[in-house]
Amino acid sequence: MIAPAFGPRPLGSPAALAEICTVLYSRVMPTNDSTLRRGAEEARNRLPELLDAAEKGRSTIITRRGRPVAVLGPIVASGAALGQQPLTPWQGSGRGLWGKDSARTLHRLRGEWNR
């Protein structure tokens, strides 16, 4: 049962839900030596420093009223740094999709718009 682990608060109260979310978040995003924790106002005022830290591989958890809201971290951690991948591995993968005579199939498909 969850209630005893979170004290005497009723389980459906906003305070209990916030505490549960904080505990669950800390298990998903544990803080370590390379993770900073800043309030929203401080993060806004020190954004250039936090961006420099992100370039060096450090993540920052941004909080609002003590609750984690967002993470500012290196782009490599999000997987977005991969960029556009080449299409050459896909070459020839569509062979046969249009039938044996692709020109005839395309002509027939284009003719559907003229009906």
Query: Residue ranges per domain, the chain?
Result: 31-79
For the full predicted model, state whether its pTM sits above 0.75: no
For residue 104, give the H/E element and its range. Answer: helix 102-111
Q: What is the pLDDT of residues 61-82, one digit of tens each?
A: 999 998 999 999 888 766 665 6
Q: Which of 86, 110, 89 is nearest to 98 (CA)?
A: 110
Contact 63, 35 (CB under 8 A): no
Q: What is the pLDDT of residues 19-59, one digit of tens each?
A: 665 555 554 444 455 678 899 999 999 999 999 999 998 99
**What is the CATH code of the structural domain delimited by 31-79?**
3.40.1620.10
d(CA 92, CA 109): 22
**Burial of 52 from C-beta contacts in 10 A (0-12 / 13-18 / 19+):** exposed
